[in-house]
Amino acid sequence: MPTTESNGITLNYTDSGGDGRAVVLIHGWPLSGASWSEQVPAFTEAGYRVITYDRRGFGASGKEPSYDYDTFAEDLAGLLDHLDVIDATIIGFSMGGGEVARYLGTRGSERIRSAVFAGAVPPYLLKTDDNPDGGLGDEDIAGMQQGASDDRAGFLDGFTKDFFSANGELRVTEAQRQEALALAEPADQEALLACIDAFGRTDFREDLARIDVPTLVIHGDADAIVPFEVSGKRIAETVTDAELHVVAGGPHGFNVSHADEFNRVVLEFLKK
């Protein structure tokens, strides 16, 4: 697969090419760009130029720090510059929603037509005095890091079960869950731990308030990793004129478990 130097890092990416409008897919933690396998064929068939990439520290991209959202947004900017992407829709799943928010909040919308937040972490996961509706306490973030540090394999095994489960029931095949575990395998350990801190503690509220492009928020109502009430609902309330679609019974990994509905809703949004 092709690579590019972006913001001091080598990014591994895929680009379907063609003359269609660009759709840039930004993956969640602790996966890679290959986690969009249910979306790439559908969006490509619909005529879009589909671009995926591995976040620094994950997949086949470079493993050099820093692992923070200002850096991640600049990595994305470098990729868009390299590919000369304009009039693009950027779609961020889970942790990837942070790149969408921070990019638009700092870089603006010159290259961007629209945005999608899918099971995304904004506006702010950490519970603080001025953010009582956050979903994670300091002890939760520390516990995740401790678990991933002490027993990475065991932690990720449990995490992927929760990732794809709704109301305690796995909503994908065991083979699909194992595929996700395999995508996490190349992740650098330092990146794995640092990104827990990044998505758990980064405040995107000001970024969301600056978004000035059409925005879709799509979220599963049974998300056990990033609950709808903590994130998707609040994103839709914050971004001006955002559209909201709630996937009934959708777990966190609903782009796989509910791929048909996910793709249909996003493709309808892309036509606008």
Chain centre to alpha carbon of residue 266 = 15
Q: Active-site residue 252, yes or no?
A: yes
DSSP 63-105: -PSP-SHHHHHHHHHHHHHHTT--SEEEEEETTHHHHHHHHHH
Active-site residue (options: 223, 231, 245, 258): 223
Which 3 state secondary structure label does DSSP give 155? helix
Active-site residue (options: 6, 32, 94, 165): 94
Q: Active-site residue 94, yes or no?
A: yes
DSSP state letter for 128: B
Distance, in Å, from the CA atom of 50 to the CA atom of 39, rounded to the nearest integer, reads 9
Q: Where are the beta strands (DSSP E) in 69-224?
A: 88-93, 112-118, 165-166, 169-170, 215-220
Q: Which helix (H) or strand (E) holds 5?
A: strand 3-6
Residue 268: partners with Cβ closer than 8 Å, 6 or more residues away:
none
58: nearest Cα among 218, 196, 252, 258 = 196
Active-site residue (options: 27, 219, 252, 258): 252
Active site residues: 94, 223, 252
